[in-house]
Amino acid sequence: MTLPLLLSILGAMLALAGCSPRSTANKPAMDTQTDRPDEPSGKVVRTDAEWRQLLTPEQYRILRQAGTEPANGAAYREFKHQGEGTYHCAACGALLFSSAQKFDSGCGWPSFFDPAKADNVVLKQDTSLGNVRTEVTCAKCGGHLGHVFAGEGFKTPTDQRYCINGGGLKFVPAQ
Q: Is residue 20 part of a domain?
A: no
Model confidence at 80, pLDDT cuts 50, 70, 90, reads very high
Which tens digits make up the pLDDT trace of 110-162?
A: 999 999 999 999 999 999 888 899 999 999 999 999 999 999 999 999 999 99
Q: Is residue 15 part of a domain?
A: no
Q: Is residue 12 part of a domain?
A: no
Q: Is residue 78 part of a domain?
A: yes
- For the segment 100-108, the average pLDDT, to the nearest whole number, is 96
The pLDDT value recorded for residue 175 is: 84
Residue 107 annotated as catalytic: no
Give the single-character DSSP code of 26.
Answer: T
Q: For residue 160, with 0-12 CB atoms within 10 Å meaning exposed, 13-18 middle and 19 or more buried, which class applies?
A: buried
What domain count does the chain have?
A: 1
CATH of the domain at 166: 2.170.150.20
Q: Is residue 25 part of a domain?
A: no
3-state secondary structure at position 25: helix
Of 89, 138, 141, 163, which residue is the catalytic one? 163
- For the segment 68-79, the average pLDDT, to the nearest whole number, is 95
Q: Is residue 28 part of a domain?
A: no
3-state secondary structure at position 170: strand
Q: Is residue 7 part of a domain?
A: no
Give the single-character DSSP code of 40.
Answer: P
Domain range for 87 is 41-173
Q: Is residue 52 part of a domain?
A: yes
Which tens digits make up the pLDDT trace of 1-53?
A: 554 444 344 443 333 333 323 333 344 544 444 566 778 889 999 999 999 99
